[in-house]
A and B are shown apart, each in its own frame.
Chain A
Amino acid sequence: MSKTKRDNLITYGIVILAFIIFQVLSATGNLSSHMKGLLVPMTYYAVIAVALNLCVGILGELSIGHCGFMCIGAFTSAFFSKVTEEVLPTAPRFIIAFIIGIAFAALFGFLIGIPVLRLKGDYLAIVTLAFGEIIKNVINAFYIGVDSHGLHFSMKNAMELNMEEDGQVIVNGAMGITGTPHDSNFAIGIAVLLISLFVVLNLINSRDGRAIMAVRDNYIAAEASGINVTRYKMMAFTISAAIAGAAGVIFSHNITTLTASSQYFGYNASIMILVYVVLGGIGNIRGSVIAACILYLLPELLRSLNTYRMLIYSIVLIVMMIVNWSPKVIEWRKRTFGNILKKSGKEMA
């Protein structure tokens, strides 16, 4: 078995093991209801961390608007589930909602990728932030209702929908969607996480994944090797958006009132995911999953820590970046630890 294959299996194993442990704890009554409530969010944060790491670590472009794609996945799927709640049985309804969420997130990832991926570095990052905010603001101004005549849209308020008596407001502007069926659960969250990992890890270890990483490392050399840089950037960005959309589907089917609030979908939320990715290791997919789970659960469990949580994260973020990326620190590390390694190598010989 090759090393990559073994590594991937370990990653899946960790996720499955975590699932079993939590299930056992839950079945034996060792899990508080507060803790149970944290399990589903933990999975969707892990999923979106995987999505963002595909964008930041593998494609090499910083997005601070990824929660926007999550938002799209959440709203489109919740809309579908709400409209068809009475018509379809749970399982097919959720599967279709899931596909719709992913498809719309991917579509927006593609459309937004066309302009965004022409930019680089800081500009790209700030434009992803801009799009994330645009998505959030537009959804907040969106009203959709349904009555016997079909769908009604408005960008002003619910009254403007001009519906019949039997009409029902589905998307109510800043008040969002209320009463989406609770179709997602911990097992589904874990399944989606495993699928996301499967897709990303397989992609990395393929012809297309190598091309994406080649573009990241040196796009000029990639072009000279016949690699279509735009195509691969679009590919990675779209897949990343689709996975973020999947996280949104789990999210929206686990919450009673879905609103496009800054808390969940603003750039600060996106930055929170970025913290998971950086602390788990940029480009390290397994690290993202572990970091997302631990960093999400820890402060929720240690309430006393919660006050200082973000303070600690921000300091760790800064220190990690300097330790891992500063040319001087890297040189110093090589000098100090390089010598130690050499010495121990000699002794062993």
Chain B
Amino acid sequence: MSFLTYLINGLSLGSIYAIIALGYTMVYGIAKMLNFAHGDFIMVGCYIIFSVSAALSGNPVIGILIAIVLCTLLGITTEFVAYRPLRGAASPLAVLITAIGVSYLLENIALLIFGADIKSFTSVVKWEGITLFDGQLKIQGVTIVTIVVSIVILIGLQLFINKTKQGQAMLAASEDKGAAALMGINVNRTIMLTFAIGSALAAIAGALLCSAYPSLSPYTGAMPGIKAFVAAVLGGIGSIPGAMIGGLVLGIVEILSKTYISSQLSDAIVFGILVIVLLVKPTGILGKKYLEKV
């Protein structure tokens, strides 16, 4: 029965990774860049919810909504100010290093405003959860909410991509920006929309992450962010179902290895998976092949 508990915890953590990974995978698929600061958007979202809840001392829903709006604006602004000028730069490293700079900037702004000490975050999910098998299996409310939210987001995104004009524009831009522009698609706006969605998802992921693991610091988002990128790579970058699968696999592996192998080594195992996947199938589970033309 304890195995089942760990498995469910893994699913829950994996769902959070999946939501973050969706942001990575969409941005990577379309802008072809690794937004290293994506994890820090999570942290920003958490601090906003934390501050709003403290100010209003009540319903976390308002905090979450404000966090989503502000994170979306943050994503759009970052893209416009820091990343867009570097589109088409001679070296692909330029935008990656800039993204690292943005990550550092956000962490240090948070450090100046909130300090380095760890804040304890009040869960946004008030529901206690359910108890099964005569109390042998207890599933926390936040766990269930996390899993449900991630499923809703996955379905919503799939519908958005496949059924709306903007979604189709995203697909086109991810295939070939030049051709998409010729077809009348505003590529800049499409990339901006992608950042907006990814950042909004980061805010949601932040709320869920800090509800499940209630310690908040300026570095809260960094490691989950990197692991979610691992999840996105594992599932196949650019693929939305891939990000979901990758996130779940990673979450389960992390929790199980923490429990059964060594908490010290669980990160090493997670990163080891990344290395193996990139060696055996660099395009991930559901990714596409890409060849440079000579």
Contacts and interface: CB of A to CB of B under 8 A. Distances in A.
Given A318-B101, A321-B86, A326-B86, A122 B264 contact: no
Interface of A: 56, 60, 62, 64, 115, 118-119, 121-123, 125-127, 129-131, 133-134, 137-138, 140-141, 155-156, 173-174, 220, 267-268, 271, 274-275, 278, 282, 307-308, 310-311, 313-315, 317-318, 321-322, 324-329
B130 interface: no
Given A62-B93, A325-B94, A134 B271 contact: yes
A133 B271 contact: yes
B93 A121 contact: yes
Contact of A329 (B85, B87, B112): B85
A311 B97 contact: no
Closest 6 CB pairs of A and B: A130-B271, A317-B101, A314-B104, A325-B94, A314-B105, A137-B268
23 contacts: A60-B91, A62-B96, A121-B93, A122-B28, A122-B92, A125-B34, A125-B96, A126-B34, A127-B274, A130-B272, A133-B271, A156-B262, A220-B294, A268-B222, A310-B107, A310-B111, A314-B101, A314-B108, A318-B105, A321-B86, A321-B95, A322-B86, A328-B85
The B interface is mostly helix, strand or loop, or mixed, namely helix
A329 B87 CA distance: 11
B126 to A, nearest CB: 34
A325 B91 contact: yes
B112 A121 contact: no
B1 interface: no
Interface of B: 28, 33-34, 82, 85-98, 100-102, 104-105, 107-109, 111-112, 222, 226, 229-230, 233, 262, 264-265, 267-268, 271-272, 274-275, 278-279, 282, 292, 294
A110 to B, nearest CB: 15
Nearest to A277: B97
Contacts of B89: 325-327
A274 B268 contact: no
A125 to B, nearest CB: 6
